[in-house]
Amino acid sequence: MIRAEPDFYARIRYPLRYTTILRAHARNYDLDPALLAAVIYQESRFRPDARSRSGAIGLMQLLPDTARGIAIRTGGTRFQTSDLYNPELNVRYGCWYLRHLLDRYEDEEVALAAYNAGQTNVDRWRREGVGIQFAETRHYVKRVRELKQIYRRSYPAQLRDTG
């Protein structure tokens, strides 16, 4: 359940940064800007220097091997792990990956589960006919969907597609 809180409070608690980058790549990859903001907040709290224990890097917390594959698929030839600290590249690669997952699974919840737990796990769960098996991933999906609504309500002008 999303708590009703004044928009000014939500904007303090849930900052929105890199709006130009976020909106441009959301438009380019046909993503809901509020969903993208929610993923970024949940992954890194909008900190471009974020690094997880698993080695995921940047705003959208991409693993270097995943990003390397995205770079190759999108025409890049000179990927370096340090590229993931660049907000523009990180968001571009993250948007490509999120769009890929949404297209593959045709379901936002399943795509978010794959973003968090990996496609291999999600594919296995689907083959076995079971739901999300990791409590952390269930929480992640629920939280991102809550954050999407918070961002949509708190930043309507900043997240509006102007293209």
Residues recognised as catalytic? 43
Contacts of 159 (CB under 8 A, 6+ apart): 16, 19, 22, 23, 33, 34, 37, 151, 152
User: How wide is the angle at C-alpha 42 spanned by C-alphas 98 and 57, nearest 5°?
Assistant: 70
Ranges of beta strands (E only) in 24-101 are none
Largest CA distance in the chain: 47
